[in-house]
């Protein structure tokens, strides 16, 4: 089955990144804004990101324009009707996603694949509200989408092998390296990365090391591209907390529970890079560890 047109529901960081990658591979995209707001703003975010690549000599102007031309922005879910694949990338809320899948089934053709980009929610639970369950699967991208090579293709309970094969082929076509994963909470990457970030927060709380010492140690001692606190800020602390809660809900083990400091930061609205403050304070250039979290032993 050839995927020639892709619908993306949700134009946040992930949705736009996915749109960019797919359009770069020469495939038409319909990007639907899931919440009220300006379509121009979503389009401008895509254009600005690509313009930066042009500025740095990574892409020519013609390629940038052809990528932008391949993405049609829309405020209506109905516009994904002609798509062969629809990927949802809306808020991490199971009720919202289930309702969306039910609406999508009324819009698209019977053969259209319905995929979720969820980080830690159950694909099978989304599948359960659908009539044509065999075409439902997970297609999990990583941030920054244009850079990270992995896609986790999630095989949920009743996903057909035809759907899985089509998604594995599609992932390769858009330049990614897919792995096939069964539908378990957090799949592979988030199931391992989430407890890793949570444990780093516990080390901070225990006074084992400072934020920069722990980040520095993991970068230089374990070749991580970012330390756990930079990574958590990069992903968004609200997202990390939601991942922690979802995994804990399933696993019920202390190592998956959210540490106090993470919960407090989210309650205060310090969500990492997107709010300019999290474990680091990004209002300072270069960013400094958030002084509110300085541990006495530091
Ligand atoms: N769009 C396009 N290109 C980008 C980009 C973006 N948003 N961000 C970085 N790049 C490109 C740069 O152009 C650069 O390309 P070249 O090598 O061709 O010059 C390259 O990526 C490296 O970027 P930088 O030199 O600016 O920065 P860096 O070397 O510090 O790398 C990073 C930045 C790629 C983000 C790196 O730090 C990294 O890999 N961090 C870990 C990210 C990670 O673990 N992501 C997974 C998070 S978990 C997740 O996403 C799942 C979930 O469900 C929440």
Per-residue pLDDT of 12-34, as tens digits, reads 999 999 999 999 999 999 999 99
CA distance 282 to 290: 9
Ligand 1: does its nearest atom lie under 6 Å from the Cβ of 231?
Answer: yes
Residue 148 CA to ligand 1 centre (angstroms):
7
pTM over 0.85: yes
Q: Is 74 a catalytic residue?
A: no
Residue 63 CA to ligand 1 centre (angstroms):
21
What is the rounded average pLDDT of the residues 180-187? Answer: 98
pLDDT digit string, tens, across residues 57-109: 999 999 999 999 999 999 999 999 999 999 999 999 999 999 999 999 999 99
**Atom 48 of ligand 1, residue of closest alpha carbon:** 142
CATH 1.10.10.10 fits 190-283, yes or no: no
Residue 145 CA to ligand 1 centre (angstroms):
8
**Orientation of helix 237-251 relative to helix 260-267, angle to 10°:** 130
Ligand 1: does its nearest atom lie under 6 Å from the Cβ of 226?
Answer: yes
CA distance 171 to 138: 12
In the chain, list all ranges with CATH 1.10.1040.10.
190-283
List strands edge to edge, sheet with 28-32: 71-74, 28-32, 5-9, 85-88, 113-116, 136-140, 150-155, 177-182
Strand extents, DSSP E, the chain: 5-9, 28-32, 71-74, 85-88, 113-116, 136-140, 150-155, 177-182, 280-281, 288-289
Ligand 1: does its nearest atom lie under 6 Å from the Cβ of 119?
Answer: yes
Q: Is 190 a catalytic residue?
A: yes
Q: Is 119 a catalytic residue?
A: yes
In the chain, list all ranges with CATH 3.40.50.720.
5-182
Catalytic residue among 171, 190, 230, 244: 190
| Class of the CATH domain delimited by 5-182 | alpha beta
What ranges in 174-227 are assigned the alpha helix state H? 189-206, 211-221
Residue 143 CA to ligand 1 centre (angstroms):
7
Ligand 1: does its nearest atom lie under 6 Å from the Cβ of 235?
Answer: yes
Ligand 1: does its nearest atom lie under 6 Å from the Cβ of 258?
Answer: no
83-92, 153-162, 239-248, 287-296: segment of lowest average pLDDT: 287-296
Ligand 1: does its nearest atom lie under 6 Å from the Cβ of 150?
Answer: no
CA distance 198 to 120: 15
CA distance 281 to 44: 26
Question: Above pLDDT 70, what percent of the chain?
Answer: 99
**Atom 34 of ligand 1, residue of closest alpha carbon:** 147
Report DSSP state, residue 277: B
What is the rounded average pLDDT of the residues 36-64? Answer: 96
Q: How many CB atoms lie within 10 A of CB 53?
A: 16
CA distance 164 to 156: 10
Q: Specify which residues 90 forms β-bridges with.
A: none
Q: What mean pLDDT, rounded, does the chain reach?
A: 96
Q: Is 140 a catalytic residue?
A: yes
């Amino acid at each position: 089955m050839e995927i020639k047109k892709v619908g993306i529901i949700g134009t946040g960081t992930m949705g736009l990144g996915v749109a960019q990658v797919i359009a770069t591979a020469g495939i038409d995209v319909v990007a639907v804004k899931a919440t009220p707001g300006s379509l121009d703003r979503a389009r401008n975010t895509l254009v600005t990101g690509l313009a930066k690549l042009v500025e740095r000599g990574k892409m020519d102007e013609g390629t940038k324009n052809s990528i932008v031309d391949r993405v049609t922005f829309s405020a209506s879910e109905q516009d994904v009707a002609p798509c062969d694949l629809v990927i949802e990338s809306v808020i991490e809320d199971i009720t919202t996603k289930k309702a969306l899948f039910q609406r999508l089934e009324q819009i698209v053709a019977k053969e259209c694949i319905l995929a979720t980009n969820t980080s830690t929610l159950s694909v099978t639970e989304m599948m359960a509200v659908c009539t044509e369950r065999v075409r439902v699967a997970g297609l999990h991208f990583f941030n920054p989408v244009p850079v990270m090579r992995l896609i986790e293709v999630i095989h949920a309970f009743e996903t057909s092998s035809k759907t899985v094969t089509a998604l594995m082929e599609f992932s390769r076509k858009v330049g990614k390296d897919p792995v096939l994963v069964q539908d378990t909470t957090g799949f592979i990457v988030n199931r391992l990365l989430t407890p890793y970030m949570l444990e780093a927060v516990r080390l901070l709380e225990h006074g084992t090391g400072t934020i920069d010492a722990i980040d520095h140690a993991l970068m230089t001692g374990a070749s991580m591209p970012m330390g756990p606190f930079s990574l958590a800020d990069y992903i968004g602390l609200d997202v990390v907390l939601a991942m922690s809660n979802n995994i804990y809900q399933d696993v019920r083990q202390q190592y998956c529970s959210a540490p106090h400091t993470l919960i407090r930061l989210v309650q205060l609205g310090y969500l990492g890079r997107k709010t300019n403050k999290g474990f680091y304070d990004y209002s300072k250039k270069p960013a400094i560890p958030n002084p509110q979290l300085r541990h006495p032993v530091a």
